[in-house]
Amino acid sequence: MKNFKIWKNTTALDDYSEGLNFTKDKDKADIILLGSKSININQFPYLKAIFRVGVGKDNVPFKECEDKQIYIEFPSKRSTNILFEETSNYTVSLVLRMLYTSPEISLPWKKNPRRSLEKKTALIIGTGNIGSRVKHKLSQLMQVVSYDITENEAEELESLIKQADVISIHIPNMPLNDNFMDKKKLSWMKNEAVLINTARANLVNEEDLYLAISKGKIRAAFDVFWNEPYSGKLTTFYPDSFYMSPHIASSSADFFLGCRNDLDKMIQNLMK
């Protein structure tokens, strides 16, 4: 295992790297440990394989790897199921955090009545591996509707957005979906509605979201950002109107351990 030199652009497995041989020199790398950022495999003349730490495929150079006979491996089904579960659980936690805002503790205590959670409506946009789990989990707590391009007509989306108290996005990251939530769709959101994003930041137009929040119309909670670590203009609204977490929705020790085991198996196969 030590014979293979690994170049990485992710810190995901830093605590699970015992026995691995890393290099910062691209021209010496046999394996790439790939995070969510893009790479140019022409900079890796001796590359044999790529291990993607995650399930996103938008930054994986499939065609170039096929041409160069470079092996590509993703986490196993067992590992990805952990990722899907943890990401959906974390998404639900953001929903609850934003709907159950913490009141200011001062004397005398002021207790403002709230609308029951079961009376509120969540809209899940995209019902794939993670979205479907979020839909199921939230349905135990509140009213849930969903929109998926494979199941709904495009003209249905406006009415679904207008009725939702909270919207969670889980659509694929592809050029077609860039800025999916733009000024127009954000304007459909009811006053004080919440937008949740644990998928990809570019699914939401940053400037349009900033304007919507600055008007006091909506709030949002994001775990993904246009540039990471994020220091953009939306930070001015943290933590009440724009809650942020540092891209940790899938950061489970069990998932990382699963990925390390999957990486070891890939290396063993390369050694045959």
Are 92 and 138 spatial neighbours (Cβ–Cβ below 8 Å)? yes
Q: pLDDT for 145-179, tens place per residue?
A: 999 999 999 999 999 999 999 999 999 999 999 99
pLDDT at 2: 55
Q: How many CA atoms lie within 13 A of 189 on its CB side?
A: 28
Burial class (CB in 10 A: 0-12, 13-18, 19+), 51: buried
* Residues in a beta bridge with 243: 221
Q: Provide the percentage of residues in the chain whose pLDDT is more than 90.
A: 91
Are 195 and 219 spatial neighbours (Cβ–Cβ below 8 Å)? yes
What sections of 46-148 are H helices per DSSP? 62-68, 77-99, 131-138
Query: Rounded to two decimals, what is the model's pTM?
Result: 0.91
| 212 dihedral zone (left: phi>0; alpha: psi -120 to 50; beta) | alpha
Q: pLDDT for 51-92, tens place per residue?
A: 999 998 999 999 999 999 999 999 999 999 999 999 999 999
Local confidence band at 101 (pLDDT 50, 70, 90 cut-offs): confident
Contacts of 151 (CB under 8 A, 6+ apart): 127
pLDDT at 180: 98
pLDDT at 65: 96
